[in-house]
Amino acid sequence: MDAKIRLYVEHPLGAGQSVPLDRGQAHYLFGVMRQAVGAPVLLFDGHNGEWLGRVVEAGKRGGVIECEQQTRPLQMPPDLWLCFAPIKKARTDFIVEKAAEMGAARIVPMQTEFTNSGRIQRDRLQAHAVEAAEQCGGTYVPEVAELARFGRLIDRWDPARRIMFCDETLATAPKALTLAGAGPWAIFIGPEGGFSDREREKLHKMEAATAVSLGPRILRADTAAVAAMTLWQQALGDWA
């Protein structure tokens, strides 16, 4: 198989299926990557795995790819959410990209007391998740949720979903990471100023939450997200 380009499409995939390309995809495929009719392209839709297709129509504003054969089945990530407080634009983008690459099933930006960014561009962040999945070989794209207030998120929390709460106050007294229990989980990462005392207290009182240290140094929020996902994946995820 000589296909090197992967595209996420919002169209069902299957043998013989014709898949239309939108204007942005056509520009990338034919204008940027200089592909033409007959070019092989790998497609995935988040439901039907990865498929090898061939370009059958190519234009400046659109195109069509015809599916030939499935190359990989759908590989779902673990049932893990990454809940984080948005920070500066580029570093928020980084968190979303790495969460998609590392196997988050859902990405939840949350507004905490010390969150500096009061809004997000969800469509832009979702596009970053798509690009990350295209580049890392994933067959699933995690949903980026709308910005949720911390208090409302906690008040409505399903106790069946365990929380790995990264508590920066434990940095001076790190303990060995102990996580147990299969099933749905979430990782909570605070903003640059950390969680407030009130937020930390709420998390510590939750039976579903486990407070963990990420080492003897306080990490930047984007570094903490990558470190936490690595630890969780090694302990309970599909890296174990």
pLDDT in tens, 80-97: 999 999 998 899 999 999
Both tokens of 194, joined, read 């950390």
Last residue of a domain, one of 52, 72, 92: 72
Sheet of 63-72, strand order: 6-8, 40-44, 50-58, 63-72, 18-21
Shared domain for 88 and 204, answered yes or no, is yes
Q: What is the mean pLDDT of residues 17-26?
A: 96
Q: Is residue 1 part of a domain?
A: no
**SS3 label, residue 226:** helix
Average pLDDT, the chain: 93
Same domain, 46 and 158: no
In the chain, the number of structural domains is 2
- Any idea which residue has 């299969």 for tokens? 182
Cα 40 from Cα 21, distance rounded (Å):
14
Same domain, 117 and 133: yes
Identify whether residues 109 and 209 lie together within a single domain. yes
CATH number reported for the structural domain that contains residue 49 in this entry: 2.40.240.20
Of 72, 88, 119, which residue is a domain's last?
Answer: 72
- Contacts with 198 (C-beta within 8 Å, 6 or more apart), sequence order: 113
DSSP conformation class of 210: E
> How confident is the model at residue 170, as a pLDDT?
84
Domain annotation covers residue 54: yes
Per-residue confidence (pLDDT) for residue 17, from 0 to 100: 96
Provide the sign of the torsion angle of the four alpha carbons 170, 176, 179, 180, taken in this order. negative
β-strand partners of 21: 63
pLDDT of residue 173: 56
φ, ψ for residue 234 (rounded to 5)? -70, -35
In this prediction, residue 51 carries a pLDDT of 98
Judged against a pLDDT cut of 70, whether residue 174 lies above it is answered with no
Q: Are residues 185 and 109 part of one domain?
A: yes
Q: Does residue 29 sit in the same domain as residue 99?
A: no
Going by pLDDT thresholds of 50, 70 and 90, the confidence category of residue 176 is low
SS3 155: helix
Structure tokens at 29: 């495929």
CATH code for the domain in which residue 86 is found: 3.40.1280.10
SS3 172: coil
Residues 56 and 103 in one domain: no
Judge whether 98 lies within some domain. yes
The reply to whether 19 falls in a domain is yes
10/65 same-domain check: yes
pLDDT category of residue 177 using cuts at 50, 70 and 90: low
**pTM of this prediction?**
0.92
| Domain range enclosing 34 | 6-72
Mean pLDDT score, 22-51: 96
Using CA atoms, how far residue 94 sits from 128, 172, 222, 226, in Å, is: 9, 27, 7, 10
Same domain membership, residue 96 and residue 17:
no
Of 72, 95, 112, the residue at which a domain comes to its end is 72
Q: Hey, what are 110's tokens?
A: 């949350």
The owner of tokens 């950390």 is 194
Judged by phi (left if over 0) then psi (alpha if -120 to 50, else beta), residue 130 lies in alpha
Is 60 exceeded by the pLDDT of residue 218?
Answer: yes
Same domain, 172 and 85: yes
Same domain assignment for residues 160 and 93: yes
**Phi, psi for 21 (deg, rounded to 5):** -105, 140
For the four alpha carbons of 184, 147, 151 and 89, in that order, the dihedral sign comes to positive
Answer yes or no: do 126 and 142 share one domain.
Answer: yes
Instruction: Decide if 45 is inside a domain.
Output: yes
Q: Is 94 within the bounds of a domain?
A: yes
